[in-house]
Amino acid sequence: MIVRVCRAVGFNPRTIYLVDGVDSYDIMLDSSAEMLGEVVVTGYQAIERRKLTASITKMNIDEDKLGSVMNIDQALAGQVAGLSAMQSSGTPGAPLKIRIRGTSSLQGNQDPLWVIDGVPMNGTEMPSTDELKDIDNLYQSSIAGLNPSDIESITVLKDAAATAIYGTRAANGVIVITTKNGKKGKTQVSFSTRLSYSPKPGIGRLNLLNADEKVDLELELLRTNFTYRENKGEVSRILQQAQLLDAYKTGGWDMLPSDVQSRINALRNVNTDWNDILFRDTFSQEYNISASGGGDKATYYTSLGFQDERGNVEGVGMSRFNVVLKTRYSLSDSFPHDPECRCRRCSSHRCRMGAGKGWHVGSNTQDWRIRRCR
């Protein structure tokens, strides 16, 4: 028996079983009421998609879209037409450079406005290049500590008609985030975990010099009077300590005494695997648990989240802890009240070069905010 599935935009799919001897089939598809009645939240109103005329893209967040991403801005990459997300740094938790419909300014701010549950966020601008190079302070945007598992949907506003309500702040587009809320019914408990493994970078395909070849290269460069960085390298340092650098340039290897030749030849046996020393295999983990429910007059949603993401470089990583408490209760039909409390703590660290230096805590941000919705 042959099975075929008939699909059409705006209709529910239907499975057809083909029978031998039957040449034609009359197929009737049912309208998809869910798609026709889908509501899009623009930050200041909720409107049905079929009545929407502005350029807006809505993306519902589920486990398939999240995958192994640790930050919500990473989930937008490749999901929205006209939105580009570029990695600014390889550091775990580093913000992405997001552009909606290209670059709009050569020198001004080009980052979109983020709106979370109707509240425009401040401090979402992308750190400058000099700030990203600062090893003592790691810069993150204000959405860096937001748990992707607490998000229900994301709406991207692209054109002027959709972003007009926010004024000049929305010149680069608006990203509206709607978080999860409690729903009427029995208490529902959800637990999810994401584990990811990242091997250290492999250099097996690179044709690198071994210690013997590197010593020969340094000696040859000194003989050719190649002055660029001639003071670098262990061979050059040995000759300078013995004050024989000029003598070697003039007469070559035979002008060096036996003890200096022995010290240089000893370098040929020192083969250091710097890839094994500097890099490591990493194992990142994330755990989330939430509970939601409610009745006719009140609903609630609470969640706990923990994330530990490590970089391939020793001493580089990021950890995050989230707590969300949301309650909605109605004193009357015309007076709903939504108290909400969000607590999050983000800690990023990277290694710091220098004698006697280990890893250095770059940023340790805490964000405790209590918001009350009208």
Distance CA 142, CA 2 (A): 54
Under 8 Å between Cβ of 6 and 29:
yes
Phi, psi of 295 (to 5 degrees): -125, -155
The pLDDT of residue 291 is 93
| CA–CA gap between residue 311 and residue 136 (Å, rounded) | 17
Question: How far apart, in whole angstroms, are the C-alpha atoms of residue 325 and residue 327?
Answer: 7
CB 201 within 8 A of CB 279: yes
Residue 124 to residues 56, 112, 132, 190, 361, Cα–Cα distance (Å) = 21, 8, 15, 30, 22
Place of tokens 């699909």: 7
Residue 123: per-residue pLDDT: 53
Q: What is the pLDDT of residue 173?
A: 84
Alpha carbon 279 to chain centroid, angstroms: 20
pLDDT tens digit sequence for 90-111: 777 677 778 887 776 666 677 8
Yes or no: say if 299 and 122 are a contact pair by the CB < 8 Å rule: no
Please say whether the beta carbons of 71 and 344 come within 8 A: no
Angle between helix axes 258-266 and 211-223 (nearest 10 degrees) is 130
Instruction: Please enumerate in sequence order all residues whose Cβ is within 8 A of that of 282, keeping only pairs 6 or more positions apart, or say none.
Output: 197, 198, 200, 310, 311, 312
Handedness of CA 329, 332, 333, 337 (dihedral sign): negative
pTM of the predicted model, to two decimals?
A: 0.64
User: Whole-angstrom Cα distance, residue 87 to residue 73?
Assistant: 10
Predicted local confidence at residue 289, as pLDDT:
93
CA-CA distance, 126 to 73, in Å (whole number)? 12
User: What pLDDT, in 10s, does the model give residues 49-80?
Assistant: 666 666 777 777 776 666 667 777 777 777 78
pLDDT for 232 equals 80
> What pLDDT does 357 receive?
32
Name the stretches of the chain with pLDDT < 70: 1, 32-54, 63-68, 93, 104-108, 122-142, 144-145, 161-162, 333-337, 344, 346-374
Give the C-alpha separation, 43 to 157, whole Å.
9
Per-residue model confidence (pLDDT) at position 43: 54
Work out the burial of residue 177: count CB atoms within 10 Å of its CB; fewer than 13 is exposed, 13-18 middle, 19 or more buried.
Answer: buried
Q: Classify residue 142 by its DSSP letter.
A: T
Phi, psi of 289 (to 5 degrees): -140, 135
